[in-house]
Amino acid sequence: MDYSIGFIGGGKMAEAIISGIVTSNLISQQNVFVGEINEARQKYLQEVYGVNVSSDNKWVISQADLVILAVKPQLMQRVVGPLREIFSHRLVVSIAAGITINKLSEMLPDKQPIIRVMPNTPCLIGQGISAMAPGETVTEEHSAKAKTILSSVGQVVITEEKYLNAVTGLSGSGPAYVYLIIEALADAGVLAGLDRHMALQLATQTVIGSAAMVKETGSHPAQLKDAVTSPGGTTISALYSLEKNGVRAALIEAVITAMNRAAELNGE
Ligand SMILES: NC(=O)C1=CN([C@@H]2O[C@H](COP(=O)(O)OP(=O)(O)OC[C@H]3O[C@@H](n4cnc5c(N)ncnc54)[C@H](OP(=O)(O)O)[C@@H]3O)[C@@H](O)[C@H]2O)C=CC1
Ligand SMILES: O=C(O)[C@@H]1CCC=N1
C-alpha cells in the first residue's frame, strides 16, 4: 500500500497490529511510525520490526496518513489533548476499550473522521478478529482503508458503535479467558500425572481443533459436544461437573462484567 500509518502508543496491542501488517507486507516498515514514551519499548520495536519509533507523537502524526490511537483508555485525554491541532484531515482509528467516538470527538478537531475498533492480540499472528464502527464523518474510502489494514491481521466485522463494549467483553478480552482455560486444562493433566509439556500440547491442540470444528463444519457447538458424549461415558461425567460448577454462567458473567467495565472506562 502506498500510505503511511502512525501509532500513538507502541504497547502490546499496537505491536500485534504492527507485526501483522509488517509480516503480511501490507505496509512497508519505513511507512510505519510509532510514538512511544518507554525507551525499552522503543528499542524493542525498532529492533524487532524495523519500524520508525519516536517519543515525539507530533512528529509521528505528521508522518502518517492514518493514525491509530493505542494508549490506555485512562490516558487518552491526557495524550491526545495536546496533539489536537496536528491531526488535521487524517483518519483517526481508536482501539481503546470503552472510549466512545463522541468522547474522542471532544478531544479532536471538529468533523475529524474517527473509526472505533476493538481488535484482539491474536492479530500478532494474523489470527485476530476486529470489530469496527465508523463515526459520522467517515467516508467509504476511510472505512475501506481501515478494513484493509485490519484484514491483514485477521477477520473484520463492521458493526454499530453501541455494540463495541459487548465485542470488547467477548473477543477483545476473550483471548485471556481462553488462555486461562488452556492453562487450567494443562494443570489438570499435570495433576493426573502427565508431563507438563505434553499436557500443554494436548490442551492447546484440543482448543485449536475444537474451534476449527465449529468454524469448518458450521455445526452448532451443542451438536459437536453431543458427538463427544457417549451414554454413561467419561464426557457426560465431566460435563455434569462443569455444569454443577457453573462454568457456563461464569463465562457469560465474565463477558458481561468486561462489557460493563468498558462502559465505565469512558467516564474515567
Ligand atoms: N491488550 C489487548 O489485548 C487489547 C488492548 N486494546 C486497547 O489497546 C490500547 C493499548 O493497550 P495495550 O497495548 O494492552 O497497553 P500497553 O500499556 O501495552 O500499551 C500502551 C503503550 O503506550 C505507551 N504510552 C503511554 N503514554 C504514552 C504517550 N504519551 N505517548 C506514547 N506512548 C505512550 C505505554 O508506555 P508505558 O508502559 O511506559 O506507560 C505503553 O507502551 C488500550 O486502549 C486498550 O484498551 C484493545 C484490544 C485488545
Ligand atoms: O483489558 C483491557 O482493558 C484490554 C481491552 C480488551 C483487552 N484488553
The grid coordinates listed for 196 are 507438563
Q: Would the CB of 92 count as within 6 Å of ligand 1?
A: no
Q: Which residues contact 200 (CB under 8 A, 6 or more apart)?
A: 182, 186, 189
pLDDT score for 69: 98
Residues of the chain with CATH 1.10.3730.10: 174-265
CA distance 69 to 11: 11
Among 159, 167, 165, which residue's Cα sits nearest to residue 73?
Answer: 165
What are the tens digits of pLDDT across the range 148-197? 999 999 999 999 999 999 999 999 999 999 999 999 999 999 999 999 99
Q: What is the mean pLDDT of residues 105-134?
A: 96
Residues of the chain with CATH 3.40.50.720: 5-161
Q: Please state which of the four CATH numbers 1.20.58.1610, 1.10.3730.10, 1.20.1080.10, 1.10.760.10 is assigned to the domain occupying 174-265.
A: 1.10.3730.10
Q: Would the CB of 97 count as within 6 Å of ligand 2?
A: yes
Q: What is the mean pLDDT of residues 13-41?
A: 94
Ligand 1 centre to CA of 87 (Å) is 19
What are the tens digits of pLDDT across the range 81-103? 999 999 999 999 999 999 999 99
CA distance 135 to 55: 28
Q: Would the CB of 172 count as within 6 Å of ligand 2?
A: yes
CA distance 186 to 251: 19
- Strand 91-94 relative to strand 32-35, pairing: unpaired
> pLDDT band at 268, cuts 50/70/90?
confident
Instruction: Return the percentage of the chain with pLDDT > 90, whole number.
Output: 96
Q: What is the mean pLDDT of residues 236-240?
A: 98
DSSP assignment of 204-251 equals HHHHHHHHHHHHHH---HHHHHHHH--TTSHHHHHHHHHHHTTHHHHH
> pLDDT band at 1, cuts 50/70/90?
low
Chain mean pLDDT for the chain = 97
Instruction: Return the percentage of the chain with pLDDT > 70, whole number.
Output: 99
What are the tens digits of pLDDT across the range 56-79? 999 999 999 999 999 999 999 999
176-186: b (≥16 Cβ within 10 Å) or e: ebeeeebeebb
In the predicted model, is pLDDT for residue 2 greater than 90? Answer: no
CATH of domain 5-161: 3.40.50.720
pTM for the whole thing? Answer: 0.97
Nearest ligand by distance to the CA of 122? 1
Q: Would the CB of 173 count as within 6 Å of ligand 2?
A: yes
Ligand 1 centre to CA of 193 (Å) is 40
Ligand 1 centre to CA of 191 (Å) is 36
pLDDT score for 197: 98
The grid coordinates listed for 16 are 500485534
Question: Would you say the ipTM is above 0.90?
Answer: yes
The grid coordinates listed for 74 are 485512562
Q: Would the CB of 168 count as within 6 Å of ligand 2?
A: yes
Q: Would the CB of 10 count as within 6 Å of ligand 1?
A: yes
In the predicted model, is pLDDT for residue 20 greater than 90? Answer: no
What are the tens digits of pLDDT across the range 249-258? 999 999 999 9
Alpha-carbon torsion (33, 34, 40, 44), positive or negative? negative
Ligand 1 centre to CA of 248 (Å) is 31
Ligand 2 centre to CA of 262 (Å) is 8
Q: Which residues are annotated as a binding site for NADPH?
A: 57
Q: Would the CB of 12 count as within 6 Å of ligand 1?
A: yes
Residues pairing with 134 in the sheet: 115
